[in-house]
Structure 1
């Protein structure tokens, strides 16, 4: 498949999952609002969610692909399967032990994570139990991430992109059931967090089935630190940290927000919206780039590698910039029209919108980091991306903490400072990654590339003006279309259409080029049932 086709397969399947995830979040907000139970839920999901994004959505798979693909090319499929089996057995044992340890220590950890409720033993007790129920999801994602890497190496992206939908299906089910079988908020919270773990077993099971259909036989065995495992870990562990810098930043922000009642819920709701373009575009392109770049670098085709990276960045920005613009220009319109209902008020929407706007201008950097990291992974260089990621995390901690406490002391919302620091650190990470690639002549922006990006920016600016006008007349549009939910769909759809027209009018893309990038590459084949 071409890069664009791979990306579209990934993004389309991910979109289905994100739509269900959005429905789940609407149900959560209507049930819990931005109160103690929502804070408890976001805390319970914080660690599993971070590892899901690190592993199941690509960073671990990106680091594992070059190792597995290299063994497969040099020694054959059987040796590659042994390497994957050894790595899976060792990592599963380590992560399972880590999960059990966290479950045992959670009564002492929770007051640190949710410090705003230290005086409320009932809330802390519920949060501890909910987190313990969700924790086994990490072990499931360890298996799922490695299986996704095996499938992606073979050019099979559909199944690994499709299985996350079960997280949303499983967690949405108890929320809907609560309307049929009345239950207290803490009871519903227990149902939802238990469903997180159930979804993990389903995802791992389906990916195992997909790998077996591919003809690859993996076996769980007594964990051993073999040479192959050491080599895989040496690349995978720092690679996962590097690819997940934004997730670590998000974790730091949530820990700081634990001292402010409702703040963690605000970050969760804003996070879910700005993560949408990252999940749809950044992760999809990142996964599609790694096999292509690995092939180019192994073959010594540096020009092909540069062209692939040019295409990847252009494609990423063409899809990401309009989403970032919408989140920046009309955040309240989007949140109030879609989320405000039940226990979630317009005041909650206004606070969340202010935070979302500060995350929005960092969205292009979040996606660019996903695109600029694969060239390092493809050359089996995960040390420097890890160093850059750690630098970005330190930046977030220092700047975010300072802004959080300073804004709070001034009577303003400290969460805004966390959002600002997260976006700034993302751009710092991009500057370090891109600067290294250009300095080493691995990639250098061509004049054609710069021209394309400028035209994409111009098309985004035109769309921004139209969305700004719509946002000013938000209430009028709500009355015109009889419902604010309909109004936001019409406005976003019209904005997307206008952006598409501008892309063609400014010749950022042409119809011929669209057909070309979607054309299957020579020799590509798609097995039945997997693509």
Structure 2
């Protein structure tokens, strides 16, 4: 029950953050559309987030959380270990930031060589130098969040990303009121939001009894072990980032494509964030503690219930992205500088990402099985396979399908990575075996989701005239989604995928 409570806590605050993120992106789309300034900002903002996968939710934290959770369970000076870790991490981040400032033109060329020779390149370099310090504060915030999550305190860490979106929304209003350059204002907002997030989780950790005071960095035996564990995960993260670079490189040769892919990414990131990231954040420390205590049966139960929770919310979300992408994109983004052509391109990318959504979420389920056992090498090898698939698909398809080759590459790579994780997890025996309850319900969840898909498709056809009228389209989309929720509930009951009583018990837990 405590694990499910953690899922809902993280999922709720992630949902709040993603909803505010939608509001933010609606305003950005209206103000910038798919213009060169929009593409420059999107790419500049992606640069610190690229390295964030190494130091924040990525390699460092994936190695830190299991070690800290075990020290917390055994009482082996967890605060000393956390303080040493944050000190060394801060030193590495400062060096990285200084290097990136000097090498920013080369970083932009690596990410989007198609920008060279037009205004997008210089704008991206300028915005990138302003935004990049965000990596320092968000990575330190992630470490403090790992401390809180290991202690079973999920609220502050899950709520912190809300501050990023609040800062962006406020900045957009101020820029409009004061007549400031919108792109420049957004770029400066990025590091400011990082400071706010770090301060928020640091004080939360302090109130929880974990006062993280940086000291003179020193390489202790424990940090050496942390580095050894994190290194393969960092390499795996690097491979994943190469996937993103491949996609952005291809998109950079099509005007507006980086912006279209960004807005499509925001749509599929909603269920991925609410479900997948919540699963990863809660499941990793839970599995680490159970392994420390020798509770193999409890670990298997946690894994299977997390899988059931993932499928219950992810499959219908994927079906919705496939069935009504145009309605979603049009209602959410089509206003101001974002036109009908932008809607059509973004909707196509959204549907392609929807095909990969279950794979992206289930990766978050399988990865903790490896990281909890301090096995970071296997995910690295699997990531190499996914990289090969992504490169082959994206580069091979680009002459035929244009910018959507980037989305196809990411989707195929996602399924390849999931297949490798599933295959590799067999060495863990019963810990990764699907139990009878999950096998009984999984295909029923798929069937219920398909029935829901038919219902929302029909509702979208009926509501089509209202979905294009500015005064009614938001209410019309809410109506379509309400039909989806109700039909999914009935379909779940009919097929035996779930009952309303089970959902109520999960919510009460």
Q: Which moves more between the two structures, 224-233 or 474-483? A: 474-483
Gaps of 5+ in 1: 521-531
- For 2:336, the equivalent position in structure 1 comes to 342
Matched, 1:66 2:51: no
Pair 1:167-2:155 in alignment: no
Instruction: Specify which of 286, 292, 298 is matched with residue 298 of structure 1.
Output: 292
Alignment of 1:334-483 (within 5 A): 334-404=328-398, 406-407=399-400, 412=401, 414-441=402-429, 442-478=431-467, 483=472
Which residue is 1:92 aligned to?
90
Look up the SS of the partner of 2:171 in the other structure. helix
> Does 1:119 pair with 2:108?
no
- Quickly say closer, same or farther: Cα 1:166–1:240, change in 2 above 3 A: farther
Q: Normalization by structure 1: what TM-score? A: 0.90
Counterpart among 77, 81, 104 of residue 83 in structure 1: 81
In the TM superposition, what is the alpha-carbon distance from 1:242 to its structure 2 partner?
4.7
C-alpha contact 1:17 1:162 (8 A) present in aligned 2: yes
Q: Is 1:107 paired with 2:101? A: no
Deviations 1:229-262 (A, max 9, x none): 1112222343366579766533431133222221
Question: Could you tell me how far apart the structure 1 residues matched to 2:336 and 2:322 are?
Answer: 25
Structure 1 equivalent of residue 35 of structure 2: 35
CA distance 1:480–1:86, change in 2 (3 Å): closer
Alignment of 1:74-223 (within 5 A): 74-76=74-76, 79-120=77-118, 122-183=119-180, 187-223=181-217
| Distance 1:256-1:147 versus aligned 2 partners, 3 A rule | same
CA deviation after TM superposition for structure 1 residue 168, in Å: 0.9
Alignment of 1:446-525 (within 5 A): 446-478=435-467, 483-518=472-507
TM-score, structure 2 as length reference: 0.94
**Counterpart contact for 1:359–1:420, Cα < 8 Å:** yes
- Note closer, same or farther for the CA distance 1:128–1:459 as it changes in structure 2 (3 Å cut): same
Counterpart-to-counterpart distance in 2, 1:211 and 1:115: 42
Moved more, 126-135 or 482-491: 482-491
Cα–Cα, structure 1 residues 481 and 473, in superposed 2: closer, same or farther, change >3 Å? farther
- Whole-angstrom CA distance in 2 between matches of 1:481 and 1:27: 15
Instruction: Verify the 8 A CA contact 1:362 1:426 in the aligned structure 2.
Output: yes
RMSD: 2.2
The DSSP-based 3-state class of the residue aligned with 1:362 is: helix
Q: How far apart are the structure 1 equivalents of 2:235 and 2:160?
A: 23
- The Cα shift of 1:97 comes to 1.0
Determine if contact 1:71/1:80 at 8 Å carries over to the other structure: yes
CA distance in 2, matches of 1:9, 1:241: 31
Mapped contact 1:39–1:262 kept (Cα < 8 A): yes
Whole-angstrom distance in 1 between the partners of 2:7 and 2:369: 17
Q: Distance in 1 between matches of 2:186 and 2:156?
A: 24
- Cα distance in 2 for partners of 1:327, 1:245 equals 27
> SS of the counterpart of 1:208?
helix
Q: Secondary structure at the match of 2:141?
A: helix
Determine if the alignment matches structure 1 residue 239 to structure 2 residue 233.
Answer: yes
Cα 1:276/1:206, change in 2 over 3 Å: same
- Gap change, CA 1:426 and 1:417, over 3 Å in 2: same
- What is the DSSP-based 3-state SS (H/G/I as helix, E as strand, rest coil) of the residue aligned with 1:361? helix
Counterparts of 2:491 and 2:17, CA distance in 1: 29
Structure 1, 213-222 or 419-428: larger mean CA deviation:
213-222
State the secondary structure of the residue aligned to 2:103.
helix
Measured in 1, the distance between the counterparts of 2:411 and 2:142 equals 27
In structure 2, runs of 5+ residues without a counterpart are none
Q: 1:500 to 1:3 in 2, by over 3 A?
A: farther
Q: Report deviation, 1:317.
A: 0.8
- The CA deviation at 1:52 is 4.3
Instruction: Return the alpha-carbon distance in structure 2 between the equivalents of residues 367 and 241 of structure 1.
Output: 21
Deviation of the 1:519 alpha carbon: 5.4
Shift of the alpha carbon at 1:111? 3.8
2:460–2:480 contact (8 Å) kept in structure 1:
no
Other-structure match for 1:314: 308
After superposition, the Cα gap between the structure-2 partners of 1:233 and 1:225, relative to the gap in structure 1 and judged at 3 Å, is same
What displacement does 1:510 show? 3.0
Per-residue deviation, 1:512: 4.3
Quote the Cα distance in structure 2 between the aligned partners of 1:231 and 1:117.
41
How many residue pairs get matched?
A: 508
8 Å Cα contact 1:2-1:519 kept in structure 2? no
Alpha-carbon contact 1:30-1:343 (below 8 Å) kept: yes
The structure-2 alpha-carbon separation of the partners of 1:110 and 1:47, relative to structure 1 and needing over 3 Å to count, comes to closer
Q: CA deviation at 1:346?
A: 0.8
Please state if 1:270 is matched with 2:268: no
